[in-house]
Structure 1
Amino acid sequence: MPSIIESEGSELGDAHWVQARESGIGNSQVETNYSDERRIAILAAADSAKLEWFHIKVSLVAGIGFFTDAYNIFAINIASVMIGYVYGGGDIPPRALTTTQDFCLKVATPVGTFVGQLVFGWLADVYGRRKMYGFELIIIIVATFGQAVLSGSSPTVHIVAMLAIWRTILGIGIGGDYPVSAVITSEFAAVDIRGRMMSSVFAAQGLGAFLAASVACAIIRGHEKAILAETSLDNLESIDFMWRLLLGLGAVPGVFALYFRFTIPETPRFTMDIKQNVERASRDIKMSLRVGEDVAVGEDAPEDIGIRRNTLPNFWDYFKRRENWLVLFGTAYSWFALDVAFYGLGFNSAKILRTIGYGGPSKDPDPGSVGDVLREIVDNLQKISIGNLILVSVSLPGYLFAVLSIDRVGRKTIQYMGFAMLTIIFVIMAGAYNVLVDTQSGLKAFFALYCFANFFQNFGPNTTTFIIPGELFPTRYRSTAHGISAATGKFGAIIGQIVFSVSESKGSNYRSIQIALGVFGLFMFTGLLSTLLIPETKKKSLEVLSNDTQTVSGKGKSRRRGF
């Protein structure tokens, strides 16, 4: 029998042998199964690989998708204000979207994302990560272009309704990107760099939000003269063009990433465990990670290596075990709790900014003076765009801290810390709200607390809730379980928007924010509790973390994780 595991891969190879034995598989049984030996060798090679250009390429290709997703999600903050000026209602100018219109426009994307995460998560486990990887990006590009070229409102269909439909479709594509990107990155990554790779992919979200805020500032600055030159408040053509340009530019990064999405190889774990093709996985891992002769390569033919099939009965058999469904509940609810606040505040940053003086009318404009109203519109758009840029900028260090510390500190520790800090911050902001917003010094303190909240969301559960579900489950269910966790999070995003809309209908903008902050603080505390159900994943192979026997026909016994 040829040597399969050599040099630097040997230690991890030995670890996989130990895992097989601990799962209840006898030495003789393992040693006589050559296919299983090769599977162990491939896993050892992938898990022990040094950082290669291929790892960087995978992170970049996945990251560009998240960059595009975040741009499209957060560009609506300022775009909705622009749309309100052009198509909103109200007897006294400037116009604005109604609470219902604003709610529909902002909740449409999370609704679509919810669907996309469930559907594409399942499809990626059935048909492969690679096959799904480009299709969701095509949906994003088409939907982004579609909303940018919409015609104006008609007597039968309001443009906000059509925008909501397009943004729901956009959300489906964005939703598909979450489980597929997470799983592709985790399954290609070596154990020692998996956290950094996955957090780097997710950090692209911050860069996308930053670009959306920056582009909004540039567009508003570039069209200031055109806005002031308008002659009628009933036909603001310059602003109508601005929001279309802002949203439409979100398709550009996706177009550049499309080729790489379709040409990325299938992950070796899917090829082995789902397609049952050990030799193809051997060749792919050798070509991608340059592992030399450590992995034997033979004929490209499917063979039975004893992995349980991805069937509904097997799915229920796995998740009906208490230790497994509790982990899924922990990952799903933690994401839910986080997104209630993350998107509740993120989609309503313009309202937060008005509280601290960035945006909103500084005086009552004279409805008869078109020039005054136009000047007020320009000032408001500039304040909101600059304020958004500031908020996004102060959140970027959180992503950086997460990337640098995730493989040393650990996912669970960072999630604990983040939820704990967010609970404290939101409780203080809600409890001392009236004091904070009454004085200039209080407003500065309020803004500082809000910035700290953004920091600890990203150096905390916003990053870890994305990473952990991509590590904890067997290959055959990994994408589905990540999709379930992510979709539960987007249900939380919908709840967060409902909280803001309902609290806004109960009182003024100031009162609604206080109520929302109090509710968000409660959810952060429950997220802290749900983290107890999740095991630490750093420095462990995906096969250990899956809590599942993935060798020799599934005859070994599962080892229960400690919580």
Structure 2
Amino acid sequence: MANSSSGERKNLDVLTTLDVAKTQLYHFTAIVIAGMGFFTDAYDLFCISLVSKLLGRIYYYEGNPTRPGSLPPNVSAAVNGVAFCGTLSGQLFFGWLGDKMGRKKVYGITLLLMVICSIASGLSFGHTAKGTVITLCFFRFWLGFGIGGDYPLSATIMSEYANKRTRGTFIAAVFAMQGFGILAGGIVAIIVSAGFKSKYPAPSYISNPVGSTVPQADYIWRIVLMVGALPAVLTYYWRMKMPETARYTALVEMNAQRAAADMSKVLKMEIREDQEKVERIAKSEANTFGLFSKEFARRHGLHLVGTTTTWFLLDIAFYSQNLFQKDIFSAIGWIPKAGTMNAIDEVYKIARAQTLIALCGTVPGYWFTVALIDVIGRFTIQLIGFFFMTVFMLALAIPYHHWTQPAHRIGFVVMYGLTFFFANFGPNSTTFIVPAEIFPARLRSTCHGISAAAGKAGAIIGAFGFLYAAQNKDKSKTDPGYPAGIGVRNSLFVLAVCNTLGFFFTLLVPESKGKSLEELSGETEDSQPAEHARVGSARV
């Protein structure tokens, strides 16, 4: 294949070929392989919210006939949030390791960790309630650690495989599998709880507080957690068969021959190697600065500030919404109070409500992004998402007491679902995509990991801060489902502020639509990154 013309960037044949390659089977194979990792990630992270109330009923019932068992505030915060602590650690560690060892070598490790810890979480043991919960938290931390590695590696692999015309669509499609993972968690919980409900019927909590939680209910949360191992097991073999990305092989390992050979096999065409050009690029000014250098700060510092702050602010809102749907729905009366139903009924109704929100708001939002991201661009979608999330949060918070009236509860659910739609047709997708595109190959996985870890710091604030404040300062002791303290209404105001700040920090993030990775980062030229990739420039 001939070299690119002098009017285009100075680039390697193998990278130019990838940029202009037609959509082929290997693109879809990569989407499925990487996407199933995200399916598993979402399932494992969010399924705990479906069963956390059941854990309280089983292990923390104190014999009070007026109140079902519930997790103490510190225990509930740990159960819901410990996986995020592991995820943050894994994003930083595996992001760095992916740039040091290669994407493929690390990719299988994260998946094995997820499989082992999903199963181990469901097998959590202990002679006391405290022992069982500690064991569960231990395994969920390491489950999160493996999940964390999947974020930078999947995003980087897909961005480096894709062509520049449809790169956003492909990365968004990988991330959109998260929506199916959330949906699958709800469906599995519905099926399992319905099965146990039919086989082991229990009286209502009002008629029999003790008998309302049958011993077999202990199997429900264990089965729900362990099912998360299945999709990861099914994709392990194919993940190990994927070749290393040509961009890593050529630009980081400086092995032009293997990069050309791997991509020739994948694209089924002859690609010329150019070792001399690889070595020249590697020694250029654009490929010698480190992450903590002044040169990185000058070229990409504001970009990294933009990707970390927007992801951080988005995840405060997004994970708060996802993890505490059950509390919000209980507060407005859409899910009956815990004292009116038995334990298995409660799991079933929580799962049904969350599945409906995922089906109507979450999943469509992801796929709107897939369809439009290479049409209207990342920057525009992110601004739209933050703007409408703010609008709908305020629309729920300002007339909050209106929405709690029985006649208006469905309206609340619809509005709440729209916040999920615009989170996913918005910053929840774009904050994942952009960091995989705008940084140099040798730092791409690391910078994505840093950006993602900032997001998980936001998720931890949502999981620990909001939940602890809500449960520890409950203004209504007779209503354990009502997240008072800061209250549902005030929580919505806080999340609206986070979304507003995210809107303005988006101005630091460059548009990457239709540009090659090397053009965005400037790493194949002895010059600055392309002008359109710099902060303050016109966006395409």
Same fold (TM over 0.5): yes
- The residue number in structure 1 matching 2:302 is 326
Output one character per residue of 1:134-156: Cα deviation in whole Å (capped at 9) or x when no partner.
1001110111111111224438x
* Secondary structure at 2:282 match in 1: coil
The alignment status of 1:432 with 2:399, answered yes or no, reads: yes
- The residue number in structure 2 matching 1:26 is none
Q: CA deviation at 1:85?
A: 1.6
Aligned AA for 1:176? G
Q: CA deviation at 1:558?
A: 4.9
1:483-562 equivalences under 5 Å are: 483-497=449-463, 498-506=465-473, 507-508=475-476, 509=482, 511=484, 512-546=487-521, 548-551=522-525, 555-558=526-529, 561-562=534-535
- The residue number in structure 2 matching 1:107 is 81
Counterpart of 2:166 (choices 193, 205, 224) is 193
* Secondary structure at 2:510 match in 1: coil
Aligned AA for 2:239? R
1:119-138 equivalences under 5 Å are: 119-138=93-112
Aligned AA for 1:460? G
Output one character per residue of 1:154-184: Cα deviation in whole Å (capped at 9) or x when no partner.
38x5211211111110000000000000000
Counterpart of 2:117 (choices 118, 143, 162) is 143
- The residue number in structure 1 matching 2:253 is 275
Structure 1 residues not aligned, in runs of 5+: 21-38, 366-374
- The residue number in structure 1 matching 2:479 is none
- Alpha-carbon contact 1:90-1:96 (below 8 Å) kept: no
- The residue number in structure 1 matching 2:239 is 261
The alignment status of 1:77 with 2:67, answered yes or no, reads: no
- Matches of 1:331 and 1:472, distance apart in 2: 10
1:465-476 equivalences under 5 Å are: 465-476=431-442
The alignment status of 1:14 with 2:11, answered yes or no, reads: no
- Matches of 2:523 and 2:274, distance apart in 1: 25
Aligned AA for 2:5? D
From the superposition, tell whether residues 67 and 235 of structure 1 become closer, same or farther in structure 2 (CA, over 3 Å). same
- Alpha-carbon contact 2:92-2:453 (below 8 Å) kept: yes
Output one character per residue of 1:388-442: Cα deviation in whole Å (capped at 9) or x when no partner.
11111112111111111010010010000000001111122122112221x2233
- Matches of 1:519 and 1:322, distance apart in 2: 33
TM-score (norm 1): 0.87
- Alpha-carbon contact 2:77-2:467 (below 8 Å) kept: no
The alignment status of 1:179 with 2:157, answered yes or no, reads: no
* Secondary structure at 1:306 match in 2: helix
The alignment status of 1:304 with 2:270, answered yes or no, reads: no
Q: CA deviation at 1:318?
A: 6.0
Aligned AA for 1:423? T
- Alpha-carbon contact 2:79-2:137 (below 8 Å) kept: yes
- Matches of 2:345 and 2:291, distance apart in 1: 56
From the superposition, tell whether residues 50 and 440 of structure 1 become closer, same or farther in structure 2 (CA, over 3 Å). same
Output one character per residue of 1:197-227: Cα deviation in whole Å (capped at 9) or x when no partner.
1010001000011111001000111001344
- Matches of 2:524 and 2:282, distance apart in 1: 5
- Matches of 2:508 and 2:527, distance apart in 1: 24
The alignment status of 1:355 with 2:331, answered yes or no, reads: yes
Counterpart of 1:416 (choices 361, 366, 383) is 383
Q: CA deviation at 1:320?
A: 4.4
- The residue number in structure 2 matching 1:41 is 13
Output one character per residue of 1:262-307: Cα deviation in whole Å (capped at 9) or x when no partner.
11100000000111011111111111112x23x22589x9962331
Aligned AA for 2:421? F
1:57-96 equivalences under 5 Å are: 57-93=29-65, 94-96=68-70
Matched residues, number: 516
* Secondary structure at 1:116 match in 2: helix
Counterpart of 1:250 (choices 228, 234, 256) is 228
Q: CA deviation at 1:353?
A: 1.8
From the superposition, tell whether residues 92 and 412 of structure 1 become closer, same or farther in structure 2 (CA, over 3 Å). same
- The residue number in structure 1 matching 2:371 is 404
- Matches of 1:130 and 1:318, distance apart in 2: 30
Aligned AA for 1:78? L
Aligned AA for 1:55? H
From the superposition, tell whether residues 325 and 159 of structure 1 become closer, same or farther in structure 2 (CA, over 3 Å). same
- Matches of 1:226 and 1:150, distance apart in 2: 24
The alignment status of 1:221 with 2:188, answered yes or no, reads: no
- Alpha-carbon contact 2:520-2:530 (below 8 Å) kept: no
- Matches of 1:338 and 1:79, distance apart in 2: 25
Aligned AA for 2:55? I
Output one character per residue of 1:442-490: Cα deviation in whole Å (capped at 9) or x when no partner.
3222111101001001100010010000001000000000000000000
From the superposition, tell whether residues 383 and 356 of structure 1 become closer, same or farther in structure 2 (CA, over 3 Å). farther
Task: Give the CA RMSD over aligned residues.
Answer: 2.4
Q: Which runs of 4+ in 1 moved over 4 A?
A: 229-235, 308-313, 557-560
**More displaced stretch, 201-210 vs 219-228:** 219-228
* Secondary structure at 2:513 match in 1: coil
- Alpha-carbon contact 1:340-1:492 (below 8 Å) kept: yes
**More displaced stretch, 274-283 vs 85-94:** 85-94
From the superposition, tell whether residues 557 and 471 of structure 1 become closer, same or farther in structure 2 (CA, over 3 Å). closer
Aligned AA for 2:116? V
- Alpha-carbon contact 1:220-1:382 (below 8 Å) kept: yes
Structure 2 residues not aligned, in runs of 5+: 477-481
From the superposition, tell whether residues 319 and 346 of structure 1 become closer, same or farther in structure 2 (CA, over 3 Å). farther
- Alpha-carbon contact 1:64-1:257 (below 8 Å) kept: yes
- Matches of 1:63 and 1:288, distance apart in 2: 19
Output one character per residue of 1:338-387: Cα deviation in whole Å (capped at 9) or x when no partner.
1001111111111122123343437x56xxxxxxxxx5333322221111
- Matches of 1:116 and 1:151, distance apart in 2: 25
Aligned AA for 1:190? N
- Alpha-carbon contact 1:121-1:180 (below 8 Å) kept: yes
Aligned AA for 1:170? L
- Matches of 1:312 and 1:344, distance apart in 2: 41
Higher radius of gyration, 1 or 2:
1
From the superposition, tell whether residues 532 and 194 of structure 1 become closer, same or farther in structure 2 (CA, over 3 Å). same
* Secondary structure at 1:262 match in 2: helix
- The residue number in structure 2 matching 1:478 is 444
